[in-house]
C-alpha cells in the first residue's frame, strides 16, 4: 500500500474495498468451490484492495438481496461474483449478463422459472464492467488457465450477474466495476463421483487463489 503524501505522516491512502461473493452448495453438492475460494481470499490485501467475502444463497432474488445488503454495508469499489461451472476446464471471466431466468434445475428453494425476465423493466443485457481481457491475461501470465466466456448460462449465476449490473446502473453506480467469474470443480468433488462424471476437469483451491490474486491485480 502506498504511503502518505505532502510531508504529512498522518496522511495515508485509504484501501479500496473489493466485495467478492461465493455461492452456497447446490444441485446435491456438499461443497461449492466458489465458497471455498472466497473463504481463502477473505481479509487479504491485494493491489490496494481489502478483500471482503460474503456467502450467497443459490436462490432467485435472495441472491441479489444478499449482494445488495453487502454492498450497502461496505460500499465496495469493485464487485466480483464467483460461481461453479462444472465441466469447464479453466477460470472463465464472463462478458455479459442477459435478462432471462430459465433454470435447468430448481434453485435451493425450489424455484424453477422458465423464460422469465430477471428485471421486467430492464434492458436485454448488460456488459460486465470488469477489465475482463486484462484479468485473463494476468492469470495466464501467472500460469493459471483462464479465458473469457460469452455465456453465464440462465441459472442463478446469470441471474445475479445481470441483477447486480442492473442494480448498479439504476442506482447511478455504473462506474463500479462488477462482473462474474466461473470456476471449475474442485478435485474433492470428483473423488466421490463414479464413471464419466468423475472425469470432469478440476482446479485446486491453491491454483484458484493464485489465479484470483492475479485477476485482482488487473483492477485499477
Q: Which of 36, 50, 157, 159 is the catalytic position?
A: 157
152 closest CA partner among 215, 98, 89: 98
Q: At what angle do helices 132-141 and 205-216 cross, to 10 degrees?
A: 130
Distance in angstroms (rounded) separating the CA atoms of residues 113 and 117 = 9
Torsion on CA atoms 36, 39, 206, 149, rounded to nearest 10: 70
User: What are the φ and ψ backbone dihedral angles of 187, each rounded to 5 degrees?
Assistant: -55, -35
Scored b (16 or more CB within 10 A) or e, 93-122 reads: bbbbbbbbbebeeebbeebebeeeebbeeb
Judge whether 94 counts as a catalytic residue. yes
Q: At what angle do helices 33-41 and 205-216 cross, to 10 degrees?
A: 60
Q: How far apart are the first and last CA of the chain?
A: 14
Helix (H) or strand (E) run with residue 74 in it? helix 62-74
Distance in angstroms (rounded) separating the CA atoms of residues 44 and 215 = 14
Q: Which of 182, 188, 197, 217 is the catalytic position?
A: 182
Q: Which of 94, 116, 159, 175 is the catalytic position?
A: 94
Judge whether 217 counts as a catalytic residue. no
**79: buried, middle or exposed (CB in 10 Å: 19+, 13-18, 0-12)?**
buried
The catalytic residues are 94, 157, 182
Amino acid at each position: 500500500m502506498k504511503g502518505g503524501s505532502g510531508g504529512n505522516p498522518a496522511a495515508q491512502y485509504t484501501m479500496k474495498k473489493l466485495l467478492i461473493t461465493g455461492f452456497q452448495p447446490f444441485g446435491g453438492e456438499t461443497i461449492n468451490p466458489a465458497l471455498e475460494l472466497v473463504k481463502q481470499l477473505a481479509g487479504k490485501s491485494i493491489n490496494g484492495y481489502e478483500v471482503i467475502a460474503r456467502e450467497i444463497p443459490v436462490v432467485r432474488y435472495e441472491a441479489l438481496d444478499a449482494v445488495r445488503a453487502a454492498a450497502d454495508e461496505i460500499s465496495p469499489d469493485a464487485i466480483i461474483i464467483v460461481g461453479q461451472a462444472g465441466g469447464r476446464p479453466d477460470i472463465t471471466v464472463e462478458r455479459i449478463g442477459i435478462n432471462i431466468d430459465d433454470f435447468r434445475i430448481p434453485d435451493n428453494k425450489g424455484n424453477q422459472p422458465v423464460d422469465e425476465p430477471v428485471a421486467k423493466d430492464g434492458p436485454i443485457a448488460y456488459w460486465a464492467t470488469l477489465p475482463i481481457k486484462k484479468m485473463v491475461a494476468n492469470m495466464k501470465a501467472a500460469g493459471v488457465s483462464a479465458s473469457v466466456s460469452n455465456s453465464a448460462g440462465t441459472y442463478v449465476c446469470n441471474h445475479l450477474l445481470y441483477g447486480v449490473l442492473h442494480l448498479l446502473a439504476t442506482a447511478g453506480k455504473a462506474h463500479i466495476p462488477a462482473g462474474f467469474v466461473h470456476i471449475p470443480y474442485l478435485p474433492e468433488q470428483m473423488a466421490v463421483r463414479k464413471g464419466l462424471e468423475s472425469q470432469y476437469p478440476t482446479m485446486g483451491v491453491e491454483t484458484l487463489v493464485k489465479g484470483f490474486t492475479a485477476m485482482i491485480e488487473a483492477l485499477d
